A and B are shown apart, each in its own frame.
Chain A
Amino acid sequence: MLKKISIFALACLMATVTLAGAETLINGAGATFPYPLYSKWFSEYAKIDTSVKFNYQSIGSGGGIKQITAQTVDFGASDKFLSDAELKAAPGKLLHIPTVMGAVVVTYNVPGIAKGLKLNSEDVANIFLGKIIKWNDKRIADDNPGVNLPDKAIIVVHRSDGSGTTSIFTDYLSGVNSEWEQKVGKGASVKWPVGLGGKGNEGVAGQIKTTQYTIGYVELAYAFENKLPFATLKNKSGSWVEPSIKTTSAAAAAAVKNMPADYRLSLVNQPAKDAYPIVGFTWLLLYQDQKDKTKGKKLVEFLTWSMHQGQKMAAPMLYAPLPESVMKMVENTIKTIK
């Protein structure tokens, strides 16, 4: 009798194990910026492959890097690429897989200038350095003939929380202004020379919406969704470019010939004529040598899908898809995952 019962129990146990084995759970954590797109990808992909389930925690790029390094998740996600030291700290070879691109727009609130304020990059840097302090400064006025700029002090608003948006924006400022590069530098949190700190895109946007004569920066998607006014910037090749999905993708297309094999490349200030200057990749981070081969196989399948069907979902959600040429490169990289 006892034997029978134990055999039955064993059979039950095995049944559960096989059932659980039928569905692979893949855990990820990291950047908040691509989270809306990733969750759309995961839910769409679940319809195609019912045997895999993704679980993604949007805890921020820093957290994503920490967790993938500690191997507590199967993949990480980050808006900034890892430094050589950080890569060395990881227990295996980490791959950067670029998924989409984001852009940062300069938004402002000046009564009478509903849209289309023109700023060249040197002026943007000087405003955030606290060197251009009035809206009617000659340097701004020269680029905006016929616009009635008020004689008011500029109030700078920046992100107070560490974020990829700040990282891309300060990378851009470091590229266009050597004083910024030396005094402030680039990073997710920096020591701002002037201005007020708002928490999150919503904090910065809220501050700018409710306060006149402010200037700040937010993600492109956030600015578009909330219909915030944005500045047209002068890019490295000297042409005026409005931020858009198209000009964002153009920045990556311009960078293809310098694209390193590990995709660790900053996309700001690309020299192409139609490239918007404040652009960055967002990456997935995963180990080339997957410990769990089933998970590894599923990840490869998913990533390949994300390079085809996944890319088509990006633009409607205001993310810039990878240009064709980069997509092909990434696909080859994905194939090396074992």
Chain B
Amino acid sequence: MQQNELTATEESQFTNSCAKRRGADGDRIFRWLTFLFAAAVLLILGLMIFEMTKESLPSITKFGGRFISGSNWDAVQEDFASLPFLYGSIVSSILAILLATPLSVATALFITEVAPNRIGTVAASLIELLAAIPSVIYGLWGILVMAPWLQRTIQPWLADHFGFLPFFSGAPYGVSMMAGVLILAIMIIPIITAISREVLLAVPQSQREAAVALGATKWEMIRIAVLPYGRSGILGGVILGLGRAIGETMAVTMVIGNTPQISLSLLSPAYTMPSVIANEFAEATNALHSSALMEIGLILLVVTLIINVFARLLIWKVTKGHKGGVA
């Protein structure tokens, strides 16, 4: 009898441990599986860097540092340098961010803090819809509607009244750095707005109530209670927007004028790194030409990496010292 009982206990212990082990197996498989996926991402990135470096080697050895500091791009003479593209990419992206960020944050604030609930929801889904429009559509609209409009209205006015500034000198062509910046800004506003909105929605209600209880007006409440709380999240959204802006190809190519030159004027055409790759890669039969385009791709990758590292540092810096109040 007793023995029977013992066996029963043993048995139940045995099944228990079995179940545990099965669970442990599942855990182990899960751990390896996720590790594998995470490693695959790194592996692909590593392979990409390796392959791009390998392909751009002829260009790197031939031109060296001159490739980054020079500004001649001549496929016929086989002389390549990338500074105008680097300049165009960085300037257009940064200007687009400067333009889009205040607009996006203000829109997000309107949706979450000011607008009645129903209007806010409708506005939010409309903005998300904007993010789904393919970039070639933005580009077509840019070249057929926006650029001619700029050329007729804003650009001549700027040239007439502020033409003495280097930023607005030259003839208005429509397609220009300005058109590129505007189209980029329009394209990244939905992203920054959507993320800012999510971040602002995550600010606890008590935070707002506390500010209002202290006698804050709506603006003061936003300034002291809502924005500091969402600061790091909004910055994250801005970084994502910058990432999209610097990598955007089609829409920018269609409106920026594709002229490799470095000009301070917003009215003059420019060129970006993704644009030159998209434009010339398919027809680059010459080995050095495609190698130079590959090197531009590599530089683009490095620039994106640097921006991301800076962004991380910035977010750390901003969130430091705000522990407790900040998510």
Contact = CB atoms under 8 A, between A and B. Distances in A.
Interface residues of B, number: 32
B143 A197 contact: no
Nearest to A83: B285
A80 B289 CA distance: 17
Contacts, number: 100
A155 B173 contact: yes
Interface in A27-62: 59-62
Contacts of B278: 161
B16 interface: no
Interface in A152-205: 153, 155, 160-164, 184-192, 195-199, 203
Interface stretch (B67-75, B115-123, B316-324): B67-75
A196 B257 contact: yes
A187 B283 CA distance: 10
B258 A196 contact: yes
A206 B143 contact: yes
A66 interface: yes
Contact of B76 (A62, A187, A203): A187
Given A206-B143, A211-B148, A211-B151, A189 B171 contact: no
Interface string A198-238: 11000100110011000000000000000000000000000
A62 B285 contact: yes
B263 to A, nearest CB: 13
B74 A161 contact: no
B8 to A, nearest CB: 48
Nearest to B74: A191
Given A196-B269, A207-B175, A186 B253 contact: no
Contact of A185 (B77, B143, B259, B283): B77
A162 B284 contact: yes
B143 A210 contact: yes
A62 B283 contact: yes
A161 B280 contact: yes
A66 B285 contact: yes
Contacts of A191: 72-77
Interface in B276-293: 278-285, 289
Contacts of B279: 160-162, 189, 197, 199
A86 B285 CA distance: 9
B236 interface: no
Contacts of A197: 257-259, 269, 271, 279
Contact of B147 (A62, A153, A160, A210): A210
Nearest to A60: B282
B137 interface: no
B180 interface: no
Nearest to A188: B283
A59 B76 contact: no
Contact of B282 (A63, A190, A206): A63
Contacts of A185: 76-77
B254 interface: yes
A186 B151 CA distance: 32
B283 A162 contact: yes
A190 B72 CA distance: 11
Contacts of A80: 285
B152 to A, nearest CB: 10
A65 interface: yes
Nearest to B72: A191
Contacts of B258: 160, 196-199
A191 B175 CA distance: 19
Interface centre among A66, A190, A195, A199 (most CB of B within 10 A): A199
Given A190-B76, A191-B74, A62 B282 contact: yes
B144 interface: yes
In this complex, the member of B76, B143, B280 whose beta carbon has the largest number of chain A beta carbons within 10 angstroms is B76
Contacts of A186: 76
Contacts of A188: 75, 283-285
Contacts of B283: 60-63, 161-164, 188-189
Nearest to B145: A210
A191 B280 CA distance: 12
Contacts of B289: 189
Contacts of B156: none
B297 interface: no
Nearest to B144: A206
A60 B278 CA distance: 12
A191 B71 CA distance: 12
Interface in B235-292: 253-254, 257-259, 269, 271, 275, 278-285, 289
B230 interface: no
B174 interface: yes
A162 B75 CA distance: 10
Given A66-B285, A190-B75, A195 B144 contact: no
Given A160-B275, A162-B281, A197-B279, 12 more contacts: A62-B285, A63-B283, A160-B279, A189-B280, A195-B259, A196-B269, A197-B258, A197-B271, A198-B175, A203-B143, A210-B151, A211-B173
10 contacts: A155-B171, A161-B283, A185-B76, A187-B75, A189-B283, A191-B73, A197-B271, A199-B258, A199-B279, A211-B173
Interface of A: 59-63, 65-66, 80, 86, 153, 155, 160-164, 184-192, 195-199, 203, 206-207, 210-211
**Pairs of residues from A and B, 4 with the lowest C-beta to C-beta distance, nearest first:** A162-B283, A197-B258, A160-B258, A60-B282
